[in-house]
Amino acid sequence: MNGAHDLGGMHGLGPIEAEDNEPVFHHEWQRRVMALTLASGAMGKWNIDISRHARENQPPEQYLRNSYYQTWLVGLEKLLVEADLITAEELTSGQSLKPLPEDLAERVMHADQVTAILRRGDNFTVEDEDDAPAKFKIGDSVRVLNNHPAGHTRAPRYARGKCGIVERDHGVFVFADENAKGQGHRVGQHIYSVNFPARELWGPDASPKDCVLIDLWDGHLEAAD
Amino acid sequence: MTDHSDHSHLSDTELRVRSLESLLVDKGMVDPAALDALIQTYEEKVGPQNGARVVARAWSDPKYKVWLLRDATAAIADMGYTGRQGEHMYVVENTPGTHNLVVCTLCSCYPWPVLGLPPTWYKSAPYRSRAVMDPRGVLAEFGTEVGEDVAIRVWDSTAELRYLVLPQQPDGTEGMGAEELAVLVTRNSMIGVEVVPAPMPEVSK
């Protein structure tokens, strides 16, 4: 989606405000939102791309106004209701009206599992590379497709229609744009680091020495010859 | 604690979070002890000190550096740092002719196992909008000057690869051990917005 989250190349957003010795969290509610989000993920009802889309899919003025963890909160509330883990009535009232189904109760993350779960992480690669032959090889010229899907995409707007060179093939990964459509949309595609000269992206005022490297899937690219 | 016991001082956001937490705990969906363990992990255990140890080892052990640049995920796992938001690592090396800078323009992707949770500025619209378009201006805001003859490579973390910058080792630190070196490595140098400064001359004891 062409949302306010797709920020690369925007002007007018002000100076970068770096805080010396910044704490990990500034407020107790931020700690809770981070932990609630990770713990709720254990239900297995969404993947990282579904959750990214839940966060970015806000009216632009709201996205830009919200702080980081406010956006996480918006996303989590939306995910919980859409996955039917809670009802809209429960969210409004804060009162549980029905218990968790037994099969989900088995998935609840407990304190003694936290370290192992975090250290294991997720797996975004797809093993069977034969099903996903690489469309491009290192050194190929490619162009980012000029697509503007209403749903989730990891091809940033500033690169669409622009040409670059494939610099590295990272192997086969779950294609985020499909994965965001729901569980069971795991399609494997090669990811490449594509090197875009700064002048290709930003014009003659950019430094001739600089470049931006963007990780793009086969589904984002076409040959540029 | 910034938490207030007086409810009249709670913001709408704080009230929403409290309400949601109590709902999910009542429902049995989240275990309060697990929430505390998650918070403790990222507040006390996992942070940029991990990445600093990786960098320091690469500086002091040429074989490790080769491994780190070839297979960062395995080389970093060798230090015990694995998992969530660091499943697929890639390390990019700063040299006299190349300076690397990491951003996530679309959200806030960041290598958690080696750097912890990202600082606010990294997640903010000003950094995400300008790092790709005006990296030299962004670096200047951090007090970092990169010569016109140096190529800046900006990595936009749009997929599940997570990037760590291997900064240049400062002059005068050759022969220092990994533990000593790790103290010098800053979080910002591993994102690429700063360089690692040479250590202060030792004050006479």
CATH number at residue A146: 2.30.30.50
Poorest-pLDDT segment among A119-123, A184-188, B145-149, B193-197: A184-188
**pLDDT score recorded for residue B2:** 43
Domain boundary among A66, A94, A120: A120
Residues on chain A touching B37 (C-beta within 8 angstroms): 111, 114-115
pLDDT at B205 over 80: no
Residue/partner pairs of A51-54 with CB below 8 Å, 24 or more apart: A51/A75, A51/A79, A52/A152, A52/A176, A52/A180, A52/B106, A52/B107, A53/A1, A53/A151, A53/A152, A53/A180, A54/A78, A54/A79, A54/A82
Same domain, A140 and A180: yes
Give the residue range(s) of CATH 3.90.330.10 domains in chain B: 47-191
Indicate the average pLDDT of chain B. Answer: 94
**pLDDT score recorded for residue A123:** 85
Residues on chain A touching B87 (C-beta within 8 angstroms): 121-124
Domain boundary among A120, A148, A174: A120
Same domain, A110 and A133: no
Report pLDDT digits (tens) over B54-95: 999 999 999 999 999 999 999 999 999 999 999 999 999 999
Cross-chain CB nearest to A119 (options B3, B31, B82) = B82
**pLDDT score recorded for residue A185:** 84
Q: How confident is the model at residue B4 (pLDDT cuts 50, 70, 90)?
A: very low
Report ipTM for this prediction.
0.97
In a domain, A20, yes or no: no
Supply φ then ψ for residue A6, to 5 degrees.
-85, 80
Report pLDDT digits (tens) over B9-51: 679 999 999 999 999 999 999 999 999 999 999 999 999 999 9
Domain boundary among A67, A86, A120: A120
CATH fold, domain B47-191, is Nitrile Hydratase; Chain A (3.90.330)
Q: Rounded to an integer, what distance in angstroms lies between the CA atom of residue A5 and that of residue A103?
A: 35
Domain span at residue A75? 28-120
Q: Which helix (H) or strand (E) holds B28?
A: none
The CATH code of the domain that includes A97 is 1.10.472.20
In a domain, A110, yes or no: yes
A18 to B119: CB separation less than 8 angstroms, yes or no: yes
Same domain, A146 and A201: yes
Q: Given B19, B22, B107, B129, which residue is catalytic?
A: B107
Same domain, A107 and A191: no
Per-10-residue mean pLDDT for chain A, 225 residues long?
A: 98 96 97 98 96 97 96 98 97 94 95 96 80 93 97 98 97 95 89 98 97 98 94
Residue A125 DSSP label = B
Distance from CA of A31 to the nearest CA of B (A): 6
In a domain, A115, yes or no: yes
CA dihedral B122, A221, A121, B16 (to 10 degrees): 50
Domain count, chain A: 2
In a domain, A177, yes or no: yes
